[in-house]
Structure 1
Amino acid sequence: MVGKMKIAKRAIYITTIFFALFIVVLIVASQKDDNTVDVKSENVDYGKLDDIVFSVVTDKAIVGDLIIKISANGKIRADKELEVSSNISGVIDKINIYEGSQVKKDDLLIQLDDREYQLALKEAEDQIMTARVEYGLLKKGLPKDTSSIKMADIYYKNLEELEKSFQNGSISKSEYTKQKDDLDMKIIFTGAKREDFILNKSGVSRSTNTREKAQLNIMHTQIKAKFNGIIGDFNLVEGERINAGETLFKLFDTNQMKIDINILESEISKIKLGNTVEIEIPAIPNEKFYGSVKRISPYIDSEDGTCKVEVAINNNKQKIKPGMFAKVLIETNTLENRLLVKKEALLVRDKRNLVFAVEDSLAKWKYVKLGDENEKYYEILEGVKEGDDIIISGHYNLAHDSKVKVIK
């Protein structure tokens, strides 16, 4: 028991010694810190702070129109974009274009080998000659009977009545067809359709249709431009065989370009046809373009809650290419005679909006109340007045009454 008491006393003694040493260390450390602050304080000359002059850039607070804009992004496309194909199959005989060619409407772009179709045309003309001989013989052999013309008029009236009965559902389609064929034959035999009958019987009608088809095919061997534009996606060579309906290349009308953008349903009511649009194209830096709202979709996409808007832009200098990315700013409203400062001027300190104004080479801290805004300006409702020199650069480290030097 005595041994246990000795061990307990020793533990208390050791703990007391460690605690005393800990207190001594804390006192020494605090004295060392105090000495450091004192040294630093002795080296700072607070009077020299008043001699620091900050270089700043200013801009006047102005009264002007605040143009409210809605921003969106989109891809540029040509006003007209046509996938050119051939109506017939054939072999390319001559190519008059290349990638990027400027063409005009009705220019001959590609000529197909037309020899096969020229032969078809000659055969059709020969058939017409034979048919005309047959036509003459048939016409000469038919009797000239004009006594049944009155009967033809009756049959025509019957045909009109039959047509009305079929339209109002009085007779079935099969009965209508049967009676119509019967009346057509009666009209033919009255002589009223004698000329049509002879043309059909002799083969003149068929051979004439064959000739017209051959002429049409010859016309299709010439692939021409449908409108003024530029050739793109072109990769053909002379002698290559193409198939009917196959896309050969694209024709773009790039004098006028379009941008498809999506506007939130909450903002679409602010946009009207003809609104001015400012356009920035990253691929063409340091240059702005202007267009207008051309079309507004009549419905809202239920998936993303947006409405499609089409913007038109002139491209007379041909700088803009289809597929380029564009940022657009659509002017929706103009607020007249508003006090404005540039957005770069605004600072937030202690959760309050403020700007610095230069007065007698000093930066004056001014709290402001904001109104509307656009991408460039804030409307100021309270805090500054027109003509104040507002600091827009070099103001992040300023305090009230800091000395400043205005630079350009």
Structure 2
Amino acid sequence: MKKVLRIVALVIIVAAVAYAAVKLFFPAKDSGKADVIEEKQESSDNDKTSALPVRVLPAERGHLPLRLRISASADVWEKAVLKAEISGTVEKLPLRIGSRVKAGQVLVKLDDRESRLEVERADTAKLKALSEFLVNEDVPVDLPDISPEEKKALEELRKRYLKAAADFEKGKISEAAFQQISEEYDSRMVFSGALREDIRRAKDGLSDAMIQLKQAQLNLERTTIRAPFNGVVAAIHISPGEKVSAGRELVKVVNLDSLYLKGYALESEIRHLQKGTGVRILLDSFADETFRGEIESISPEVDPDKKTLTVFVKVDNRDHRILPGMHAEIDIEYQVFENVIKVPRKAVLVRQRPLVFVVEDKIAIWKYVELGEHNDEEIHIKSGLDEGDLVVVEGQLTLAHQSRVKIVK
């Protein structure tokens, strides 16, 4: 039995070896044809993929504007943080954040009962001082007339005094010089009798009483806080019924009609800036819109550390869409080149010399070019291209001279 099994196993091994030899030395004709077809298919696929995809744009003839871009932020000329000038309790607060207000409109009303009492007390004190003044009156009401010469001298001195006061206010004369003229003027007025009535009033306390009355009336006025200009309420720091002290911030008002942009230009860009130049304004908050403005003023000095100067741009903000603090870009067109050949800047490569790829009959050919001025998007080609040449603008980084390409949209 074992002998039979050995014979069967030997026969199977011999058959397997014979089959392998036949397959190795005598391959089937159909299989060869399949391999050829597969090789041809691979070759065809390689031909298709060897054409590199590119996007092209025609070289255009037109105008090339040169632009300067300045980063800026919005602010307003008119803004005020209104503070309490006296202590008191907030009685009325007839507004909300965002409320539009008119100049003189009441914004905050403090409890004025105590201030009214102060006015009454001061008025009573004034009447008392006035009665004492009249009782103690022992000088004739009709003072002797001042001589014409004295009147003329006093008038000349008064003119000198007024001129000195104006010059001192403007910083043209020193405080000591003004004080000397002021003392001379007061002395002459006293000795001439022109201030005799004022001196008697001061002696009897009437002048002081009148001053106290005016102070009480002023404090009463300060219980009402009014808008200093037309604007919008930007912040409220108090609540009705709250006790506030003098100096406490109450409300903030801004005039959005007075909005402007404040930007910083480099020292090297000064030559491109001029007052009155129209500009485009690009805002992050309104990415799809372009606003217009005008250079209103330029700072006359350069920051020595940053090497920048400040540029102020006037903006029409009647619709109040632009708000203080918004970021903006000021786009200034300072020069335009007319009738020039231009291409997108990204189309230009530098391989020892500037060049662009131009597609002709599905072949990318590089052409050396001479470059001119440029802005952020386009560049002037002085020579090397003709109007209408199909210039590669995407996919050029992987191209070589005479690469096969296919144009895609």
**Considering the TM-score relative to the shorter chain, is it more than 0.5?**
yes
Do residues 143 (structure 1) and 145 (structure 2) align?
A: no
CA distance in 2, matches of 1:160, 1:256: 46
RMSD: 4.0
Match of 1:196 in 2: 198
2:312 is matched by which residue type in structure 1?
E
Matches within 5 A, 1:345-384: 345-348=347-350, 350-359=351-360, 363-384=364-385
1:147-296 to 2 correspondences below 5 Å: 148-150=144-146, 153-154=149-150, 157=153, 183-188=188-193, 192-197=194-199, 199-201=201-203, 203-296=205-298
Query: Letter of the aligned partner of 2:91 in structure 1?
Result: D
- Give the aligned partner of residue 81 of structure 2: 83
Alpha carbons 1:365, 1:401 under 8 Å: kept: no
Q: C-alpha deviations, 1:70-92, integer Å up to 9, x for none? A: 22323332333322212222221
Pairwise CA distance, 1:341: 1.7
* Cα offset, 1:121, TM superposition: 1.6
- Alignment gaps of 5+ in structure 2: 1-38, 165-172
Please state how far the C-alpha of 1:332 moved relative to its aligned partner: 2.5
Equivalent residue runs for 1:97-116 within 5 Å = 97-116=95-114
**Superposition TM-score, scaled by structure 2 size:** 0.72
CA distance in 1, matches of 2:296, 2:399: 48
Post-superposition shift, 1:379?
Answer: 0.8
Q: Which moved more, 1:357-366 or 1:231-240?
A: 357-366
3-state SS of the aligned residue for 1:303? coil
1:374 Cα deviation from its structure 2 partner: 0.5
Query: How far, CA to CA, are the matches of 1:176 and 1:345 in structure 2?
Result: 78
- Superimposed CA distance per residue, residues 309-335 of structure 1 (whole angstroms, 9 cap, x where no aligned partner): 223333344333322333333322222
Structure 1 residues 256 and 374 mapped into 2: Cα distance closer, same or farther (>3 Å)?
farther
Q: Does the 8 Å CA contact 1:155/1:186 hold for their aligned counterparts?
A: no
CA contact (8 A) 2:76 2:260 kept: yes
- SS of the aligned residue for 1:238 comes to coil
Structure 1 residue runs of 5 or longer lacking an equivalent are 1-40
Contact map agreement 1:152 1:187 (CA 8 A) in 2: no
Contact 2:154–2:189 under 8 Å retained in 1: no
| Preserved CA contact (<8 Å) 1:363 1:404 | no
Question: Is contact 1:356-1:363 (8 Å) kept?
Answer: yes
Aligned mates of 2:117, 2:201 — CA distance in 1 = 24
Q: Which amino acid aligns with 1:157?
A: A
Matches of 2:180 and 2:349, distance apart in 1: 89
Name the % identity: 29
Supply the distance in 2 between the matched residues of 1:311 and 1:75 (Cα, whole angstroms): 10
Could you tell me how far 1:42 is from its partner in structure 2? 9.9
Cα distance change, pair 142–83 in 1 and its aligned pair in 2 (3 A): same
Q: State the alpha-carbon separation in 2 of the partners of residues 130 and 361 from structure 1.
A: 109
- Distance 1:316-1:51 versus aligned 2 partners, 3 A rule: same
Q: Which amino acid aligns with 2:295?
A: V
User: What's the counterpart of residue 118 of structure 1?
Assistant: 116
- Could you say which residue in structure 2 is the equivalent of 1:313? 315
The answer (yes or no) to whether the contact 2:56–2:407 under 8 Å persists in 1 is no
SS at match of 2:274: coil
Aligned mates of 1:378, 1:132 — CA distance in 2: 87
Do 2:285 and 2:326's aligned partners in 1 also have CA atoms closer than 8 Å?
A: yes
Give 1:96's aligned amino acid. Answer: P
Alpha-carbon distance in structure 2 between the residues aligned to 1:76 and 1:56: 43
CA distance in 2, matches of 1:248, 1:162: 44
SS for the counterpart of 2:275 is: coil
Partner-residue secondary structure (3-state), 1:286: strand
Secondary structure at the counterpart of residue 287 of structure 2: coil
Shift of 1:115: 1.0
Aligned length: 357
For residue 383 of structure 1, what is the amino acid of its counterpart? G
Q: CA deviation at 1:257?
A: 3.1
* Structure-2 separation of matches of 1:319 and 1:158: 60
